Amino acid sequence: MNPGDGTWIGVLGGGQLGRMLALEARRMGFKVLKWTGGDTSGAAHTADLVFEEPFDDENALSRFCEQVDVATVEFENVPRGLLEEVESRMPLMPGSKVVATCQHREREKKFLSSNGFPCAGFELVTDADQLTKFMGGMPTGVVLKTAEFGYDGKGQRMISGETDAAELGEIWETFDCDRAVVEEKIDLVAELSVIVARSGSGEVVCFDAAENQHRNHILDVSIVPARLDDDLLRQAGEMAVEVAAALDYIGVLGVEFFVSGDGRLLINELAPRPHNSGHHTLDACATSQFEQQARAITGLPLGSPQLVRPAVMLNLLGDLWPDPTTPPDWTPVLKTPGAALHLYGKSEARPGRKMGHVTFTASTRDEALRMAAKCREQFGLPSILS
């Protein structure tokens, strides 16, 4: 496949990740079809063609497969049956088995542990008794997670180590889940992520690790370069590359890490797609994560992941909107040199909904942090943690 040769890229999903992929791929000369599965938020409308039918529509499946030359996903919660059907008709990158592994916490944890990758201690539980037994060895508490469909903190519950058996029984009853993953609660020093791109030939490139801060379980701030030990960042990059190789991955993969108080570097989650913490690459790197995705799935050489300027990325959530259809005054952003505003075209804001992001780039990381902190203050947001 070659830019400008009429190649169509098919994207399963209707959100902002596919929007930014479409913008980058179309700039390169590719055509993009997005099948939203019924999502009509507006984020999909940067594509050349949009299908809004649900993912179980057989006619839409046939038209999708007839139209595109290669397919990918922009979020992991695409039905596995659909992924397998698409893959039987054309190249799907990453493949259905990889996406199915990452969309299911149980399969993901088993993949990591069986391949020797460090992660938090965990157990699979199907009832309150098993949960209580695991809790007995975790005095600092645990995190209870649904086995499927978890992102941005959804399907998770923190449980104190002081919770008794009766309370655990009530928690299990209200969790509304037949099978769950329970993990040790980590004494967090920091969270970071590494974006890695890998092609079908095995070529691999790795972006600089991002230091991440979350608010209400949703990514709030990413700082690049991360303010962490160089050896630890090198280990994270090497581990991310090893994970991509173990998955025989093609495309862009996000690997999220915990740094624990006892010095462990632990893999938290895998994202089989471009990742929120890699949005700064649009403005701060030689090649963005979205261009890397287009390159990888069409068989092109991967671009340089070089960080050109330090960056701080802020998520813009619907909480900032005065009402569902009225955006805030963006003057504090637009008056800031080195600030790039990205809005996702979603028709309605809701609390916690990702509506856009701002990337601040500067000659130094400290300067980018000062710019971001000043802007956050003007929007009434909490300060960036030191």
Give the span between the Cα atoms of 189 and 341, in whole angstroms: 30
The pLDDT of residue 127 is above 80 = yes
Q: What is the pLDDT of residues 317-326, one digit of tens each?
A: 999 999 999 9
226, 233 contact by CB (below 8 A): yes
What does the block give as tokens for 326?
């009225």
41-64, pLDDT tens digit by residue?
Answer: 788 889 999 999 999 999 999 999
Q: Which residues of 148-176 are buried (b: 16+ CB within 10 A; e: fewer)?
A: bebbeeebbbebeeebeeeebeeebeebe
- 263-315 tens-digit pLDDT: 999 999 999 999 999 999 999 999 999 999 999 999 999 999 999 999 999 99
In sequence order, the 6+-apart residues with CB closer than 8 A to the CB of 78 are 12, 13, 37, 55, 99, 103
Structure tokens at 194: 């590494």
Distance CA 227, CA 169 (A): 41
pTM for this prediction: 0.93
What domains can you pick out in the chain, each with its CATH number?
A: 8-92 (3.40.50.20), 121-184 (3.30.1490.20), 188-378 (3.30.470.20)
d(CA 186, CA 262): 9
Please check the confidence at residue 148 and state whether its pLDDT lies above 80.
no
DSSP 262: T
In angstroms, the CA 214 to CA 253 distance is 20
pLDDT at 136 (0 to 100):
79
For residue 151, the 8-state DSSP code is -
Please tell me the predicted confidence (pLDDT) of residue 145.
86
Residues 6+ apart with CB under 8 A from 53: 35, 37, 38, 59, 60
Q: What angle do CA 72, 77, 79 make, to 5 degrees?
A: 80
Burial class (CB in 10 A: 0-12, 13-18, 19+), 352: middle
Residue 167 has pLDDT above 60, yes or no: yes
**Radius of gyration of the chain, Cα coordinates, nearest whole angstrom:** 21
Question: What's the CA angle centered on 289, arms 197 and 252, to 5 degrees?
Answer: 35
The backbone torsions φ and ψ at residue 136, rounded to the nearest 5 degrees and listed phi first, read -60, -25
